C-alpha cells in the first residue's frame, strides 16, 4: 500500500502506480523485499482491498493524506485569489516539525508533512534506514532529501537555506557497547551486500558497559524458556519516583512471525512476554531473547554467504530483509542479548562471522552439549528483578504499541487494577471491531458498549465516547462528555448526530443562551424554545431574543393564515411592538393575521384595506359595517367598494346556486346588515340586485319576460350566465371560476 498508493505525487495527479509501473519500471528503480514473482499477486491483493474498501464506504490513512494533498493542489491551481491565499496559509501553518522513526513513514506522509512547514530550516527528521522493516514503507534519507528539495526549491528561499544537513547521532543511550558491536557488524553486512538500500554510518558509541551477547544452540530451547516467573521486588528506597537504581526493564522473547509467536505463547503460558520483531519496533527491553530466528530463515542452510557478502552486490532483497529484522531484534536489548537457535547448522557460520580467528569475539557461544537446561535457566534468571513500577511502565508502552494482550499481562504482573481495566477495554473494543468486520452488528455493538464502560472506569474519556458512538448510543456519548466537563465537545457531537435538545441542555448549563436557542431551533422544538425565551429573557441579548421570538412565532403560527387563539395572541405580544408585528406579518404574507392584528388594535380602516386587498372579504365588509360606518355612514364611496360588494355577492351565488334563495337569502347577509348603516353606495348595490332577483323570480314563477335593458349591467349579465350554467349542470359538477 505504501508503495503502490503511497508513492503518488502531484506529478502523477496523485494516481497510484499501475500494474505495469509496479511490475516494470518501479521494480528496476526501487528496492523491494517482495520477490519479483510475487509482485503480481501483491497487486491483485491491492485491487481487491480497494474494491472491498469502496463497497464498505471506508477510507484509510493513505486516502486521507492524498485527499489533503489533492485539495491543496486544487486551491493552488484554481486561479482564485482567495484559494491561493488559503493554500499559502496551509503551507505555512507550522514553524517546525520533528519526526522520529521517519523510516517507517510512507513517501506520501513525508510529502504532506513537508507541505505544512513554512521554513526549510524547520524540518527535522530522525531515523535509521537499517530499521526500516515496516511492510508499508521503503525509506532512505536521499529520498527524503529529494522530497525536501521538491517542497522548497523554486520558493523564495536562498540556495544555501534549502540545503539539508545530515547529522549522525553517534551516542547510543539504550544498548551497551558489546551489543552495539554485534549490531554494527550486522549493519556492515547490509551495507556491504546492499549499498544502494541502506545508509552507511559510523559505529555507535555505547555509554554503558554490559555482558557479552550469547549465542546458544540446542534442541531444548522451549524447555529452557519454561522457567519460573521473575520475582518481583519493590523499588529500592533510594530510587527516585519509584525507579530502580539498577539497570533494568523487562525480558522479552522476540520471534520471526505471528505464527511462531502464537505457538510459543501457547507453550509457555502467560508468564512469558512474546512479540514479533516487527511488534517490538520502537521499544526497548532489559533482556532480549531472540528465538530461533536464524534456524527458521530461508537462508539457514547457506549462512556462509554472509562471510563473502562484501565481495559483490546482492540482488536478493529477501536476504536484505532478514538482515534488517536481525538488526532490529539485536538493538531492542539494553543489557543482555541471547540468540537462541535450535538448528546446529547455524553454529559454524555464526561463529566464523562473529568470532573470527585472530579477531575479537563478539558472541559468547554455548551449546546443549556443554550447558544443560538447568544451567541455562539459572543464567537467564540472573537478570535484574522487575518492580511493579516497571511492569506498569511496560504495560503503558504496550498500550501505545497496540499490544493489548501483552499490556494486560504486564498490568496483571504489576497488580494494577486501573491498567487491567484499560487493557481489557482495548481488548473488548477489538472484539467489537472484529464482529463488525464479520457483519455481526448486534454483537459488535454489545462489545463496544462494554468497552465504553471499561474505558470510563479507566478514566479514558475520549475512548469511552468513541466506543459509545460505535455501539450506536450517541446520547450516551454526549452524556459522558457532559458529565466529564467536555461540554463543547458534547454539543458538537449532538449537532453531528441531530440530538439538538441535548445540545440546548448543555448550553443552558453554560449560560450560552444563544447557542441553546439555536439547538432548539435546529431541532424544531418551538414550544421549548418559547419557554426558554420567557425564562431567560433578561439574560438574552435583546436583538437575539427578538429574532428567536419571531422564529418561534413563524414556526408555531405561520403555517396557516388563520386567526389566532388566546395562546397565539399572548405569544404575539412577546414578539415586539405593534409596528414590528405588522412588518413581520406583511413580509411573511400572513394577511389574515395582519387583518386581525390591525382590527384588534382599532386600526379599522387599515384592517379593512388589508382585507379587501387580499381577503377575507366577508369580515372586511362586516368590519366596515360594525365599526367604520357607525361614525361615517358614507365612508368608502367609490369603485373599490363596488368591487368588494360584487365579489362578496359572487361568493354568495356560488354557495347558493339555485334561482330561488328565499326571502333575504338572495343578498349576502353581511351586505344586508351593512345596508342598515345608511351607506348610499351599498344600499344602491343591494337595490340593483333585489330588482334583478325580483325579475328572475317572476320569470321562474310566472314565466313572464324580462324587459329589455333591465339586465344591461355587465356584472348582472354575468350573474344570469351563472344561473344558466347552474341550470345546465344541476348536480354542480361544473366548478365556477371564483
Task: Express each pLDDT in 298-351 by its tens digit.
Answer: 888 888 888 888 766 556 778 888 998 999 999 999 889 999 999 999 999 999
Name which CATH class applies to 171-384: alpha beta
Whole-angstrom CA distances from 143 to 14, 140, 202, 377, 598 are 18, 5, 20, 47, 80
Do 610 and 592 meet the contact criterion of CB atoms below 8 Å apart?
A: no
Instruction: Tell me phi and psi for residue 547, to 5 degrees.
Output: -60, -45
pLDDT tens figures, 624-644: 777 776 677 667 656 777 777
| Strands across the sheet containing 274-276 | 274-276, 251-255, 285-291, 333-341, 214-217, 364-367
Cell numbers given for 522: 435546529
Angle ∠(640,667,665) on CA atoms, nearest 5: 155
Q: Is 151 helix (H, G, I), strand (E, B) or coil?
A: helix
Contact, 494 vs 503, CB < 8 A? yes
Distance of alpha carbon 266 from alpha carbon 411, whole angstroms: 20
Q: How do the domains of the chain map onto residue ranges?
A: 10-162, 171-384, 388-472, 627-728
Q: What is the pLDDT of residue 238?
A: 40
Report CA torsion sign: 232, 234, 240, 242.
positive
Between 17 and 679, where is the model more confident? Answer: 17
Q: What's the confidence (pLDDT) of residue 195? A: 80
Give me the residues paired with residue 336 across strands.
Answer: 287
Distance CA 152, CA 397 (A): 37
pLDDT at residue 28 greater than cutoff 70: no
| Mean pLDDT to the nearest integer, 101-124 | 85
* Secondary structure letter of residue 529 according to DSSP: H
For residue 523, what pLDDT is reported?
58
Determine how many CB atoms are found less than 10 A away from the CB of residue 281: 20
Is residue 720 over pLDDT 90? no
Rounded-to-integer distance, Cα 211 and Cα 286, Å:
12
pLDDT on residue 225: 87
**pLDDT tier at 74 (50, 70, 90 boundaries)?**
confident
What is the Cα–Cα distance from 609 to 587, expressed in whole angstroms?
17
User: d(Cα 471, Cα 431) in Å, to the nearest integer?
Assistant: 12
- Per-residue pLDDT band for 402 (boundaries 50, 70, 90) equals confident
Relative to beta strand 214-217, strand 364-367 is parallel
Closest CA to 5 of 54, 64, 52: 64
pLDDT attached to residue 245: 32
Range 715-725 average pLDDT: 56
What average pLDDT score do residues 590-606 get?
A: 76
- Map grid coordinates 479514558 to a residue: 460
Determine the pLDDT at residue 687: 77
Cα separation, 561 vs 589, whole angstroms: 9
pLDDT category at 230 given cuts 50, 70, 90 is very low
pLDDT mean over 550-561: 57
Residue 443 reports pLDDT greater than 60: yes
pLDDT of residue 228: 47
Asked if the model's pLDDT at residue 124 lies above 60, the reply is yes
- pLDDT-derived band at 713, boundaries 50, 70, 90: low
More reliable by pLDDT, 615 or 486:
486
Q: Which of 36-40, 224-228, 401-405, 596-600 has the highest mean pLDDT?
A: 401-405
Give the integer Cα–Cα distance in Å for 355 and 363.
7
Q: Kindly tell me the burial class for residue 432, based on how many C-beta atoms sit within 10 Å of its own C-beta (0-12, 13-18, 19 or more).
A: buried
Least confident of 124-133, 553-562, 686-695: 553-562
User: What pLDDT is stored for residue 685 in this prediction?
Assistant: 78
pLDDT at 479: 86
Distance CA 521, CA 503 (A): 11
The per-residue pLDDT for range 361-371, each reduced to its tens digit, is 999 999 998 98
Cell numbers of 242, please?
Answer: 519509584
**Average pLDDT of the segment spanning 66-87:** 85
686 neighbors 675 (Cβ within 8 angstroms): yes
* 19 SS3 class: helix
| pLDDT top residue among 631 and 431 | 431
Name the 3-class secondary structure at 205: strand
pLDDT score of 660: 53
Residue 482 has a CB neighbour count (10 Å cut-off) of 19
**Whole-number pLDDT of residue 212:** 93
pLDDT of residue 709: 56
Question: Residue 17: which of 141, 146, 25, 70 has the closest Cα?
Answer: 25
pLDDT of residue 730 exceeding 70, the answer is: no
45 SS3 class: helix
Q: What is the mean pLDDT of residues 421-437?
A: 93
- When the pLDDT of each residue in the chain is averaged and rounded to a whole number, the result is 76
Q: How far apart are alpha carbons 205 and 173 in whole angstroms?
A: 9
Average of per-residue pLDDT across 594-607: 78
Name the pLDDT band for 56 (thresholds 50, 70, 90).
confident
Please tell me the predicted confidence (pLDDT) of residue 732: 44
Closest residue by Cα to residue 367 from 336, 337, 335, 345: 345
CB 406 within 8 A of CB 391: no
d(CA 677, CA 634): 9
Higher pLDDT among residues 615 and 281, named by residue = 281
The answer to whether the beta carbons of residues 480 and 499 sit under 8 Å apart is no
Residue 497: per-residue pLDDT: 67
364 touches 214 (CB < 8 A): yes
Quickly state the pLDDT bin for 357 (edges 50, 70, 90). Answer: confident
| pLDDT band, very low/low/confident/very high, at 34 (cuts 50, 70, 90) | low
- Higher per-residue confidence, 487 vs 71: 71
Angle between helices 347-354 and 177-193 (to 10 degrees): 100
Across 23-126, the runs of DSSP E, i.e. the strands, are: 97-99, 123-125
Q: How many CB atoms lie within 10 A of CB 426?
A: 24
Residue 158 confidence (pLDDT): 59
Amino acid at each position: 500500500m505504501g508503495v503502490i498508493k503511497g508513492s503518488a505525487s502531484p506529478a502523477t495527479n496523485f494516481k497510484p502506480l499501475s500494474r505495469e509501473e509496479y511490475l516494470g519500471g518501479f521494480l528496476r528503480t526501487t528496492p523491494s523485499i517482495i520477490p519479483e514473482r510475487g509482485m503480481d499477486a501483491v497487486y491483485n491483493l491491492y485491487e481487491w482491498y480497494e474494491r472491498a474498501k469502496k463497497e464498505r464506504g471506508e477510507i484509510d490513512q493513505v486516502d486521507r493524506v492524498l485527499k489533503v494533498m489533492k485539495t491543496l493542489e486544487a486551491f493552488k491551481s484554481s486561479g482564485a485569489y482567495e484559494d491561493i491565499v488559503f493554500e499559502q496559509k496551509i503551507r505555512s501553518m507550522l514553524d517546525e516539525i520533528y519526526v522520529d522513526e521517519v523510516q517507517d513513514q510512507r513517501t506520501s506522509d513525508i510529502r504532506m508533512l513537508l507541505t505544512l512547514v513554512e521554513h526549510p530550516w524547520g524540518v527535522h527528521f530522525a531515523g535509521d534506514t537499517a530499521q526500516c522493516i515496516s511492510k508499508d514503507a521503503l525509506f532512505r534519507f536521499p529520498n527524503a532529501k529529494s522530497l525536501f528539495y521538491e517542497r522548497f526549491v523554486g520558493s523564495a528561499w536562498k540556495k544555501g537555506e534549502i540545503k539539508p544537513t545530515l547529522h549522525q547521532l553517534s551516542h547510543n543511550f539504550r544498548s551497551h557497547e558489546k551489543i552495539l558491536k554485534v549490531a554494527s557488524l550486522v549493519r556492515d553486512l547490509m551495507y556491504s551486500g546492499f549499498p544502494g538500500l541502506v545508509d552507511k554510518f559510523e559505529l555507535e558509541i555505547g555509554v554503558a558497559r554490559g555482558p557479552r551477547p550469547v549465542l546458544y544452540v540446542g534442541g531444548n530451547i522451549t524447555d529452557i524458556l519454561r522457567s519460573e516467573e521473575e520475582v518481583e521486588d519493590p523499588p529500592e528506597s533510594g530510587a527516585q519516583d519509584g525507579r530502580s537504581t539498577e539497570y533494568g526493564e523487562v525480558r522479552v522473547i522476540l520471534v520471526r512471525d505471528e505464527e511462531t509467536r502464537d505457538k510459543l505463547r501457547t507453550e509457555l503460558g502467560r508468564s512469558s512476554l512474546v512479540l514479533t520483531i516487527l511488534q517490538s519496533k520502537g521499544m526497548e527491553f532489559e533482556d532480549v531473547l531472540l528465538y530461533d530466528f536464524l534456524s527458521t530463515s530461508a537462508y539457514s542452510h547457506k549462512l556462509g554467504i554472509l562471510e563473502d557478502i562484501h565481495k559483490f552486490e546482492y540482488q536478493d532483497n529477501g536476504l536484505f530483509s532478514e538482515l534488517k529484522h536481525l538488526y532490529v531484534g539485536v538493538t531492542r536489548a539494553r543489557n543482555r542479548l541471547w540468540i537462541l537457535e535450535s538448528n546446529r547448522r547455524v553454529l559454524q557460520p555464526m561463529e566464523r562471522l562473529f568470532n573470527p580467528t585472530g579477531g575479537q569475539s563478539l558472541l559468547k557461544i554455548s551449546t546443549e552439549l556443554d550447558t544443560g537446561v538447568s544451567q541455562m535457566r539459572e543464567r537467564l534468571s540472573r537478570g535484574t528483578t522487575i518492580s511493579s513500577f516497571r511492569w506498569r511502565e511496560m504495560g503503558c508502552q504496550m498500550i501505545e504499541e497496540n499490544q493489548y494482550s501483552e499490556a494486560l499481562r504486564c498490568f496483571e504482573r504489576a497488580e494494577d487494577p486501573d491498567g487491567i481495566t484499560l487493557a481489557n477495554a482495548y481488548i473488548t473494543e477489538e472484539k467489537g471491531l472484529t464482529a463488525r468486520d464479520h457483519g455481526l452488528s448486534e454483537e459488535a455493538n454489545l462489545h463496544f458498549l462494554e468497552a465504553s464502560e471499561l474505558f470510563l472506569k479507566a478514566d479514558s474519556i475520549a475512548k469511552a465516547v468513541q466506543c459509545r458512538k460505535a455501539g450506536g448510543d450517541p446520547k450516551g456519548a454526549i452524556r459522558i462528555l457532559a458529565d466529564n466537563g467536555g461540554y463543547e465537545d458534547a454539543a458538537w457531537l449532538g449537532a453531528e448526530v441531530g440530538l439538538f435538545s441535548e445540545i440546548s441542555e448543555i448550553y443552558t448549563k453554560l449560560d450560552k443562551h444563544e447557542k441553546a436557542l439555536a439547538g432548539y431551533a435546529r431541532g424544531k422544538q418551538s414550544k421549548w424554545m418559547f419557554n426558554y425565551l420567557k425564562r431567560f429573557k433578561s439574560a438574552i441579548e435583546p436583538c437575539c431574543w427578538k429574532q428567536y421570538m419571531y422564529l418561534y412565532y413563524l414556526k408555531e403560527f405561520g403555517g396557516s393564515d388563520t386567526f389566532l387563539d388566546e395562546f397565539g395572541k399572548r405569544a404575539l405580544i412577546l414578539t415586539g411592538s405593534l409596528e414590528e408585528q405588522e412588518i413581520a406579518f406583511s413580509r411573511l404574507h400572513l394577511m389574515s393575521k395582519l387583518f386581525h392584528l390591525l382590527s384588534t388594535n382599532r386600526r379599522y380602516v387599515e384592517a379593512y384595506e388589508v382585507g379587501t386587498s387580499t381577503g377575507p372579504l366577508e369580515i372586511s365588509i362586516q368590519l366596515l359595517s360594525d365599526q367604520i360606518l357607525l361614525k361615517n355612514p358614507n365612508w368608502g364611496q367609490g369603485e373599490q367598494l363596488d368591487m368588494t360588494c360584487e365579489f362578496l355577492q359572487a361568493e354568495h351565488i356560488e354557495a347558493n346556486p339555485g334561482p330561488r334563495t328565499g326571502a333575504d337569502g338572495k343578498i349576502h347577509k353581511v351586505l344586508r346588515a351593512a345596508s342598515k348603516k345608511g351607506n348610499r353606495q351599498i344600499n344602491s348595490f343591494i337595490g340593483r340586485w333585489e330588482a334583478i332577483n325580483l325579475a328572475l323570480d317572476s320569470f321562474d314563477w310566472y314565466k313572464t319576460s324580462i324587459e329589455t335593458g333591465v339586465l344591461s349591467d355587465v356584472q348582472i349579465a354575468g350573474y344570469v350566465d351563472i344561473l344558466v350554467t347552474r341550470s345546465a349542470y344541476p348536480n354542480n359538477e361544473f366548478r365556477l371560476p371564483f
